[in-house]
Structure 1
Amino acid sequence: MNDDSSAAAAQRKRLYWHSRRGMWELDLLLIPFLEARYDDLEASDQAAFRALLEEEDQDLFAWMMRREWPEDPERRRIVQMIVEHAESTDNDSRRAL
């Protein structure tokens, strides 16, 4: 394994563990988004996701539950992407039933 691969793998593990918030509702949104979409995001959106993980759980919860939106446009964009991803996978699950 080369250094780039091991560095990328280490970063991915860090992101996974930072996505596990201990709040079930957040875990159900952040982890699937990380696993399904993160690698395909533009670098700026990946940076926004990493920065989002630095936020407090109560802020993340309010944003993810659409009680309010982040003021920062980049943060708002990544939150909307996560919410939309969750909605699309939820709709896919319902169609499969």
Structure 2
Amino acid sequence: MFTPKRLARLRWACRRGMLELDVLLLPFVNEAFEDLTYPQQETFERLLTCDDPDLYAWFMGHQKTDDPELAEMVDIIIRRVKV
């Protein structure tokens, strides 16, 4: 379970060095994070430990991650943005 303190850390981790990532991650955590299953929430938390250039490449479709869980989370976030 994500305690308020853990969720606050997660929100802070969504603040990245790239504006392109900020506009994807911050709204997602604020609007859709609670709708994820607990394993998906943990995957999202793990996604935030990745480097900004990798995240940017995945979200922009320039590269794909080899990790299937992270790839699914990237797809979930992208689908959410397109809605």
Bin for the TM-score computed over the shorter chain: over 0.9
RMSD in angstroms over aligned alpha carbons?
1.4
List alignment gaps of at least 5 residues for structure 1. 89-97
Report whether the alignment pairs 1:22 with 2:14. Answer: no
One-letter amino acid matched to 1:24: L
Deviation at 1:70, TM superposition (A): 1.0
User: Aligned with 2:32: secondary structure?
Assistant: helix
Distance 1:69 1:31 in 2: 21
Deviation at 1:71, TM superposition (A): 1.0
1:8-87 equivalent positions in 2, closer than 5 A: 8-87=3-82
One-letter amino acid matched to 2:29: L
Deviation at 1:12, TM superposition (A): 1.2
Alignment TM-score, normalising by the size of structure 1: 0.81
For the pair shown, which has the larger CA radius of gyration, 1 or 2? 1
Following TM superposition, the consecutive aligned residue runs of length 4 or more in structure 1 with deviations greater than 3 angstroms are: none
Alignment TM-score, normalising by the size of structure 2: 0.93
Alignment: residue pair count: 83
Identity %: 37
Deviation at 1:22, TM superposition (A): 2.0
Deviation at 1:69, TM superposition (A): 1.5
